[in-house]
Amino acid sequence: MSSREAYLLGEIERLQAHLNAHLLDEALHGHVNRYQPAQNVPRHGEGQHTNRTVVTQFLPATLFASAVGAPSLVDNDDNRQSWALDPASDEGVSGAWAVPGDWVAATAVNFYIVWTVNSVNTGNVSWRVRRSVWVSEGQSTAAAVNQDATDAALGVANQEVMTAAFASTPDAAGERLYIGVQRRGSSDVNDTLNSDDAQFLGVLVEYTRDE
């Protein structure tokens, strides 16, 4: 054995003896294992905010039914259906929406009326959202709130128009909102699109969800 080999063997034996003494000391005196995982450290996601995203759902005209007056469900260019709401009378439709389970509590839900005109005429349409309160089992579905808005036709045939938001905040996920959408053609002087039906395409719903 060379002198270098003898030196290295001696160093290995010295380190092994030191390690054995350290392990023995821990066993005799009950020292905490230095490799023990840290305590009270939250796992991934615990006590932390999840990502929040604003999402939209579209409720097409076909999910609504005639409710006020005599609106007609018409086909347009074989690719969309709409409720034709008359300028000379008050006409409307009704539907419903349920709050999804991923909705973030205490955040508002926005509803937008989506509509169009099948001509290049301009003028205003007076809209009313007539709705219930947010309903769970055992609560009334009767209309309780009116929210009104006036929106202008764009002067371009078949161009989609969307009203400002009608906002409301549910109490809990799973609740339902019973909603009526009306054109106030005869009862509001602000409705000036006098020569055309307003074509109701649906309602866009916007809410905040946890991911």
CATH code of the domain made up of 52-210: 2.60.120.260
Q: The whole model's pTM is what?
A: 0.76
* Spatial contact of 72 and 177, defined as CB atoms under 8 Å apart: no
Q: What is the pLDDT along the chain (211 residues), one digit of tens a residue?
A: 666 666 556 767 776 676 666 655 665 565 544 444 445 544 444 455 568 999 999 999 999 999 999 999 999 988 999 999 999 999 999 999 999 999 999 999 999 999 999 999 999 999 999 999 999 999 999 999 999 999 999 999 999 999 999 999 999 999 999 999 999 999 999 999 999 999 999 999 999 999 8
Domain boundaries, the chain: 52-210
